[in-house]
Amino acid sequence: MLQINEFKENKEALIAGLKVKNFPNPEEVVEKVLTLDAERRATQQANDDVSAESNSISKQIGMLMREGKKEEAEQVKAKTAVLKEESKKLQEKLSSVEEELQQLLYTIPNIPHPSVPEGKSDEDNEVIREFGEKPVLSDDKKPHWDLIKEYDIIDFELGNKLTGAGFPVYKGKGARLQRGLINFFLDEAEKAGYSEVLPPIVVNEASGIATGQLPDKEGQMYQLTGHDYYLIPTAEVPITNMYRDTIINEKDLPIKNAGFTPCFRREAGSWGAHVRGLNRLHQFDKVEIVQIAKPEDSMAALDGMVEHVERLLKKLGLPVRVLRLCGGDLSFTSHITYDMEVYSGGQDQWLEVSSISNFLTYQANRLKLRYRPEGEKKTQLLHTLNGSALALPRIVATILENNQTPDGINIPEVLVPYVGFDKITK
């Protein structure tokens, strides 16, 4: 959530940033925020004045009573009843204005970094770099949805029987490949200085609001009937919320956590190869990395997270391209995001496997996540960052497709110690 001072001090830049994000009617919304804030401050001041007058009268009554002027004291006391009623009305108005302002701020996205290109969709994203060689496959190459049937390692029909579409069952070497990738990603995160946590996969409404999934993405989350509990769309939500309502010691920064969880998303269904098989699921596994950093350190932290994910993909031997997302493709809460895509040889297309984002103070403001600089009394908001390192479905799909041979599917060398085999055969 944006801070009020950003609307006052950087009004024109804020409006320009909202336009890059294709936010509708930014001038009107910004003016409404400023109007509500002015009304809030005026109401607060009026209530403070009434309280001050009431306190002054109370002292006057006490003095009159001590002087034995009971009749005068009773006359003055009548004024306190009027002031009390006036204060009650002002407090009700203040609560109403504050609630309206808060709800309005919830609807306004984060402001993009100056380097974020303008654009309306993923077609306008900027390719930063590419590395790795695309696989040379035979003419009879197959996409992963055919390979998993041929080698009987992932069963979509059984998952559909148990739950529904988008909930596959991993079997045999498919399950071992999944587990091996999770352990590999977690081990690499630990080597990079991330402390592992295993958070709940169910969070409350307050956690969803604090990281920005609610109310913006409410329709994309699974809610438990009869509760304000939600299945997590990403481990970002519980891990970041571990620090909600917290003042961090400066010496403990930066904080670096990594966690593996299942993730659940109610994405709208559509047809086509881009959502077939493992390309889009309602339940999937992911290792998430999260950082909490001082404002002056967060962009360097973002670069470090991008480099970490690049190293993972290089070790897996996958062709990669790195994109800077345009304004129209940025998430609601993101200030700047880099996407990692891998080239899937069986489908002849690039697949997104990771997003690494810096949110500046946007989440921290909702989280009330602060630190106190050494030697200072006043606290400051921290910056939050996160990234997929990595989401498994499309990684698995690409490994299967890019390493298919007439004799079976070769396993990347770095994964062999984790899975216990070097080839998937029939």
Binding region: 234, 265-267, 288, 352-355, 386
Q: The tokens of 176 are what?
A: 């071992």
Residues annotated as binding site for ATP? Answer: 265-267, 352-355
User: Residue 125: which residues within 8 A CB-CB, separation 6 or more?
Assistant: 117, 119, 323, 324, 325, 326, 329, 339
* Spatial separation of the C-alpha atoms in residues 318 and 390, rounded to whole Å: 13
Closest CA to 393 of 265, 280, 248: 280
- If 0-12 CB within 10 Å is exposed, 13-18 middle and 19+ buried, where does residue 362 land? buried
Q: Is the dihedral of CA 141, 144, 146, 152 positive or negative?
A: positive
Q: Are 208 and 222 in contact (CB under 8 A)?
A: no
* Spatial separation of the C-alpha atoms in residues 48 and 86, rounded to whole Å: 11
Work out the number of other CB atoms within 10 angstroms of the CB of residue 245.
11
Which residue in this structure is represented by tokens 């009330």?
368
* Spatial separation of the C-alpha atoms in residues 1 and 379, rounded to whole Å: 18
* Spatial separation of the C-alpha atoms in residues 48 and 311, rounded to whole Å: 58
Which residue in this structure is represented by tokens 């909202």?
18
Which residue in this structure is represented by tokens 């352990």?
183
Q: Which amino acid is it at 160?
A: N
Closest CA to 356 of 175, 121, 198, 128: 128
Compute the half-sphere exposure of residue 397: CA atoms within 13 Å on the CB side of its CA. 32
Residues annotated as binding site for L-serine? Answer: 234, 265, 288, 386
State the helix-helix crossing angle for 298-315 and 172-191, rounded to 10 degrees: 140
Q: Are 409 and 403 in contact (CB under 8 A)?
A: yes
* Spatial separation of the C-alpha atoms in residues 128 and 300, rounded to whole Å: 17
* Spatial separation of the C-alpha atoms in residues 256 and 253, rounded to whole Å: 9
